[in-house]
Amino acid sequence: MSVAGIIRGARRLPLSGKIGLALVIFWIIVAVIGPFIAPYPPGSFANEEVFAGSSRQFWLGSDFLGRDVLSRLLSGARFTVGLSVVAVAIAASIGTGFALTAAVGPRWVDELLSRAMDTLISIPSKIFALVLVAAFGSSLVLLTLIIAITYVPGNFRIARSLAVGLARLDYVEVARARGEGRLHLALVEVLPNMIKPLFADIGLRFVFIVLLLSGLSFLGLGLQPPDADLGSLVRENTSGLAEGALAIIAPAVAIASLTVGVNLLIDAATQGKAH
């Protein structure tokens, strides 16, 4: 797809899709340049007043220690977006890799992989993540891996059904008869034709991952201080709930705008194709 093609596609989106796309682009930009445009260092006690409201100096007020909420949000977004993107990329690579292996490999490989994934999918994802965190702890790298592994089975299930369907088609049979190897079948014949529905699944899984990561951080089991993602910011400031502090509302709304944005974009993009 060319750049012009993408722009044309974006123009044709319904309003909800355009809003979703705008939110997604906004958060990507924030994740990339956020820390550089933050008015204060995220750890500095910039304001003497705690849980201050919005002012010209502190757009989103101050938190429970008097730190600038906007600055902390701008650096927290990088963790939320970045870690989730890496996690979803790992989850999709493993899940789809297994799915392609199952589709073009011998039957017993498919059986084995499908049984294993069916077992893992019977463990609710939050519960699975909790068991993994309890066993391994939650350093930045481990947390990313844990969240990725949690969503491998879901991606495998979708990708396998797509890949198996394609692998049975005549053109793949022809390629097989031509003597192409399994790697060629998987990567050249099958994968390119399942990319679009696969991207829709990856987008949804990204939403789940953002929610899981923020949820874990909110419970104190996710990212550990001094690092703070958007979920940690909500957790830190729960004592401000009774006074309706911006410090707790702003990061929660930030997460919601990211996940809702992705959801709206995927919904609009996939519906456009159906008609």
Residue ranges in contact with other proteins by CB under 8 A: 16, 118-120, 122-124, 126-127, 130-136, 207, 211, 214-215, 218-221, 231, 234, 241-244, 248-249, 252-253, 255-256, 259-260, 262-264, 267
CB nearer to other proteins: pick between 107 and 275: 275
Spatial CA neighbour of 258 closest among 210, 209, 202: 210
- Minimum distance from residue 156 beta carbon to other proteins (Å): 15
- Minimum distance from residue 268 beta carbon to other proteins (Å): 10
Would you say 275 and 13 are in contact if contact means Cβ atoms under 8 Å apart?
no
- Minimum distance from residue 218 beta carbon to other proteins (Å): 5
CA atoms of 245 and 238, how far apart (whole Å)? 9
Q: What SS3 class is residue 62?
A: strand
The residues facing 68 across adjacent strands are 62
CB nearer to other proteins: pick between 93 and 119: 119
CB nearer to other proteins: pick between 70 and 233: 233
- Minimum distance from residue 107 beta carbon to other proteins (Å): 19
- Minimum distance from residue 153 beta carbon to other proteins (Å): 11
- DSSP notation for 127-164: HHHHHHHHHH---HHHHHHHHHHHTHHHHHHHHHHHHH
Spatial CA neighbour of 201 closest among 164, 161, 155, 166: 155
- Minimum distance from residue 20 beta carbon to other proteins (Å): 9
Spatial CA neighbour of 65 closest among 269, 242, 268, 239: 239
CB nearer to other proteins: pick between 30 and 264: 264
CB nearer to other proteins: pick between 166 and 258: 258
- Minimum distance from residue 41 beta carbon to other proteins (Å): 26
Would you say 97 and 60 are in contact if contact means Cβ atoms under 8 Å apart?
no
CB nearer to other proteins: pick between 175 and 200: 200
CB nearer to other proteins: pick between 44 and 119: 119
